Structures are given as C-alpha cells and as structure tokens.
C-alpha cells in the first residue's frame, strides 16, 4: 500500500487532489480504508482514459459514419431462415460433437443490477413470473444441462460445458450466494466459474473524479468490454486452456430467449473457420434503437443508431430490404485463441465510450447529492469493439421471435420489459407444442429447458393433447 504522501503527490500531478479534501476529518480506520482503495487506482492511466474517452465522444458527436459504411459481405453472412434443413442439421451435429469433446464453454455477462427493473439485486436473479417461477439464472443453467444431454445422445460422449459468469462489484457476492443456495441449478459446481469485471472511477463533466463517500471514490463497472481484461487478470483464459475449451459463446444475462451454447451457431462458426462471430436479428424498422453490424473503412464494427443519419438507416436494396439490417443482440462466438490474442495485444486499444449518468456524489460541503439529471460520466468498453481485430468474422441471422427478447426496462415502459419477456417465451413454447401436435388454448403453458432445448422431445408429451390452463411441462423423471 502506498503512503499518503506518495498518493497526494500523484493526485496533485494529475489535478485530482480534491479527492483528499476531507482527509483531515477521517479517523484512522477510514483513512486506512481510503488509502487501500486509492492504492488500487492507477491515477495516471485513469486520467488518460478520461481524456481519450472525452475526445472520442466529442468527435462522434460531430461525425456520422454514413460515407464509411458498407453492409456485411454475403460470404460472411448467413441466415437461419434461408438455410436448408440439411445445412442446419450439419451445423447442429458439428456443434454437438464439439460439446461432447469438451471444446465449448459459455461466458455469461452478468454484471448488471436490476435497477431499471425496480430491484436492487442482480438481473440474473430476476423472475418474470413464469408459471414455474424460474429466474434467468435457472433458465440458462438448465439449458446448459439439456444441451449436455443432447450432445451425449448424439455422440455417446459426455462433454461438459463450463459456465463462466462475469459479475461486477455490485453483483458478485449476491450472485455467488444465490447460485450456491440453489446448488447451481444442477450443474457441477466445478463447472461454474465466477469472476469479477473491473471498476473505473466516475467523473464529472470536467474530468474531476467523484467521491461517493468522504473516504471513497465513486466507481462503476468498466462495461461489458471489460471482459477481456477480466479474463486475463482472473486467470480465466488459463482455466479454459486447462479444460481443453476451444470455443466460447458469450452473451448478456437479460435475453430470456438466448440459446445458450447454441450448437447450430457453434457449428456454423467452426465450419467457416471463424475466430469471431455475431448473432444478429433483422431490425424491425429503420429507426429501431439498436446498433447494426457492418463494415466501416473495411473493418467490422457495430454502428450505433445515433452514428448514422435517418436517410442511411432507411436505405433499401432491390428486394426492398434494409441495407443495414443486421441488428446487434450482444450474442457472440469467439475462439479461445482469439480471446488470448485480444488480451495480449489489443485490449488497451479498445475504443472507450462515454455514458452520461446521474451519479450520486459528495459535494464540497460533504453532503451526498442525488442528481435529478445526468451530471457525471462513466467510461465503458463494449464487448463488440474487438470485431475490428478479427481475421475471420461471420454473422448468423436468427429469428427474433425465437432468439431475442431483452429485459431492460420496467413494465411501465411496455417494451423490452419483464412482461414482454414472459409473453415472448410463452409464445415460443406454444409454437413448439403446436408443431409437436398439441393444442394450446391459454397463454400460460411453459416448457422446462430440461425437457426441451429448442422444441425437440415433445411429441410423446403433447401430441393430441389440449392445454386449457396453466401448465409446466417438466421431464417425466422430475
């Protein structure tokens, strides 16, 4: 731990000495706590990050990317809906073989709290009031278990899918406690690896670091792009290598329809020898507030809706389809070798993004202020900003109704909220049952992921049956 004199000197050199303005008021315990925190903050690097992020933000405010954009080349794009059943089966079998061989892992980005949902606990612990009452964590864990069963049925080999969960400072302890209390929802505890992403100080608009207490710097997670530094610093890449994992499916926690470790996606990416892949959905309108995957100056990236003009967003091809339609849904494939390359050679080059937020802070009088409008800045990195470093990038377009229903807002917003997530999942399950020969006459029939991953294994349970009331279809052995 550094001395107070050394820290004071470094803060003064970086024009951040205001952080210590309450030092004389602190008792010995609080001083010790504060020194420990400040010793972990590389103030010179942090200041440099702010300057880079602020410069990038100001540049983007004045610049649209329209003239630099090109759509994804057909050779690096394929759509599930236009694939033949034979091709899909080939991809699926290839993915299941890789799972059986122990080559596939899942990395869940679960650093977000449910603040916008109106709760103070991690999003993964949220229940959308399904008939089963299952949380997002349970649904995703059970999909992994079912997939392991499917892979064994296909190949005769028992492959295990390690579940890597990236938490943050605010979600780590609660996530650990919740999963342990629920016995990891049937997964082997040795296959559940939990690690924390990094934190960065919060700033005011002038680049001054904020305090959230007199003896504490205000910190925030460094965005889902913090994954790459966290993988390296926490020894996760080494763990993947020891287990023989070659391919990682990375996704965010709040998509209730996510096909965890989707064997079709894995098989498609492997067959194309891709080091990086992105699942996308068709934008539902030119003005939908979602980033699009495209080429910018010859390199792949996600262009946010605010970075292009409405005219470009509305461009259509000769079939009448949007030219820039590949909506990003934070659902990615990476080889472990690519992740190592990023951590070793590119992590510090990743773009920095500015998020203007309402950040509680201690003012000069020592009072905690809770702003009514954004007054502070959080610096974030985004997981998709590694696309530009890929040597072989591919995209896989999937139907929104079966693969994407984000849960970001409270129900009062009536969009991307728990109510729409629940409705979308139950509608998907209804379609599975009807395809298998059943009849659903209510909107409360749920299929356990342990029974069916994506509609298989249902016919003997539902064919010729009519479902009139709330039902949960579990495996028969349950």
DSSP 362-430: E-TTS-EE--SS--EEEEE--GGGGGGG-SSEEEEE--HHHH--B--S-GGG-SSSHHHHHHHHHHHHH
pLDDT at 62: 60
* Dihedral angle computed from the Cα positions of residues 387, 83, 431 and 143, in that order, rounded to the nearest 10 degrees: -50
CA distance 161 to 144: 7
pLDDT at 476: 77
Q: Measured in whole angstroms, how far is the alpha carbon of residue 18 from the centre of its chain? A: 35
Summarize pLDDT for 66-93 with one digit per residue, the tens. 899 999 999 999 999 999 999 999 999 9
Q: Taking the domains of the chain in order of start, what are their residue ranges?
A: 41-408, 427-478
Structural contact between residues 197 and 166, judged by C-beta atoms closer than 8 angstroms: yes
- 123, burial (CB in 10 Å: exposed 0-12, middle 13-18, buried 19+): buried
pLDDT at 178: 97
Half-sphere exposure for 78 (CA within 13 Å, toward CB): 17
pLDDT at 193: 98
CA distance 382 to 405: 20
Which H or E run contains 249? strand 247-252
CATH code matching the domain that covers 41-408, chosen among 2.30.40.10, 1.20.58.220, 2.60.40.10, 3.90.550.10: 3.90.550.10
Query: Residues near 337 by Cβ (< 8 Å), separated by ≥ 6?
Result: 246, 275
Q: Give me the phi and psi of 253, to 5 degrees please.
A: -75, -20
Tokens representing 88? 């899909």
- 75, burial (CB in 10 Å: exposed 0-12, middle 13-18, buried 19+): exposed
pLDDT at 117: 83
Say what the pTM is. Answer: 0.92
Per-position pLDDT tens, the chain of length 478: 788 999 999 999 999 999 999 999 999 999 999 999 999 999 999 999 899 888 877 766 567 888 999 999 999 999 999 999 999 999 999 999 999 999 999 999 998 877 788 888 999 999 999 999 999 999 999 999 999 999 999 999 989 999 999 999 889 999 999 999 999 999 999 999 999 998 899 999 999 999 999 999 999 888 889 999 999 999 999 999 999 999 999 999 999 999 999 999 999 999 999 999 999 999 999 989 899 999 999 999 999 888 899 999 999 999 899 999 999 999 999 999 999 999 999 998 888 888 888 999 999 999 999 999 999 999 999 999 999 999 999 999 999 999 999 998 889 888 999 999 999 999 999 999 999 999 999 989 999 999 999 999 999 999 999 999 999 999 975 4
């Amino acid at each position: 731990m550094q001395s107070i004199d050394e820290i004071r000197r470094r803060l003064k050199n970086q024009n951040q000495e205001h952080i210590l303005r309450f030092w004389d008021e602190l008792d010995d315990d609080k001083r010790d706590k504060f020194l420990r925190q400040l010793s972990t903050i590389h103030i010179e690097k942090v200041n440099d990050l702010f300057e880079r992020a602020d410069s990038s933000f100001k540049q983007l405010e004045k610049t649209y990317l329209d003239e630099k954009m090109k759509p994804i080349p057909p050779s690096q794009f394929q759509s599930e809906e236009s694939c033949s059943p034979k091709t899909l089966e080939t991809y699926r079998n290839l993915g299941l073989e890789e799972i059986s061989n122990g080559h596939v892992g899942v990395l869940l980005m679960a650093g977000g709290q449910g603040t916008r949902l109106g709760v103070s606990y991690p999003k993964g612990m949220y229940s959308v009031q399904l008939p089963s009452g299952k949380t997002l964590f349970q649904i995703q864990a059970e999909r992994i278990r079912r997939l392991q069963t499917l892979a064994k049925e296909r190949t005769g080999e028992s492959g295990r899918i390690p579940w890597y969960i990236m938490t943050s400072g605010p979600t780590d302890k609660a996530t650990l406690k919740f999963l342990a209390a629920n016995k990891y929802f049937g997964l082997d505890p040795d296959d559940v690896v939990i690690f924390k992403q990094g934190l960065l100080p919060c700033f005011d608009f002038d680049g001054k670091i904020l305090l959230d207490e007199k003896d504490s710097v205000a910190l925030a997670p460094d965005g889902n792009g913090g994954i790459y530094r966290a993988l390296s610093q926490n020894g996760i890449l080494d763990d993947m290598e020891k287990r023989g994992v070659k391919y990682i499916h990375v996704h965010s926690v709040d998509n209730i329809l996510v096909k965890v470790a989707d064997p079709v996606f894995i098989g498609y990416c492997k067959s194309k020898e891709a080091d990086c892949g992105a699942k996308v959905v068709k934008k539902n309108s030119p003005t939908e507030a979602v980033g699009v995957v495209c080429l910018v100056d010859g390199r792949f990236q996600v262009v946010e809706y605010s970075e292009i003009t409405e005219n470009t967003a509305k461009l259509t091809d000769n079939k009448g389809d949007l030219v820039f339609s590949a909506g990003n849904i934070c659902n990615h494939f990476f080889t472990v070798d690519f992740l190592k390359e990023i951590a070793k050679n590119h992590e510090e080059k990743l773009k920095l993004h500015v998020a203007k937020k309402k950040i509680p802070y201690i003012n000069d009088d020592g009072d905690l202020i809770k702003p009514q409008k954004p007054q502070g800045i959080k610096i974030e990195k985004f997981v998709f900003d590694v696309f530009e470093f890929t040597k072989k990038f591919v995209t896989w377009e999937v139907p929104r109704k079966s693969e994407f229903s984000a849960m970001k807002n409270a129900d009062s917003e009536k969009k991307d909220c728990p109510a729409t997530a629940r409705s979308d999942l139950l509608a998907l399950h209804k379609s599975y049952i009807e395809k298998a020969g059943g009849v659903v006459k209510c909107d409360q029939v749920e299929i356990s992921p342990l029974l069916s991953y994506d509609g298989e294994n249902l016919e003997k349970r539902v064919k010729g049956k009519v479902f009139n009331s709330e039902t949960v279809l579990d495996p028969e052995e349950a």
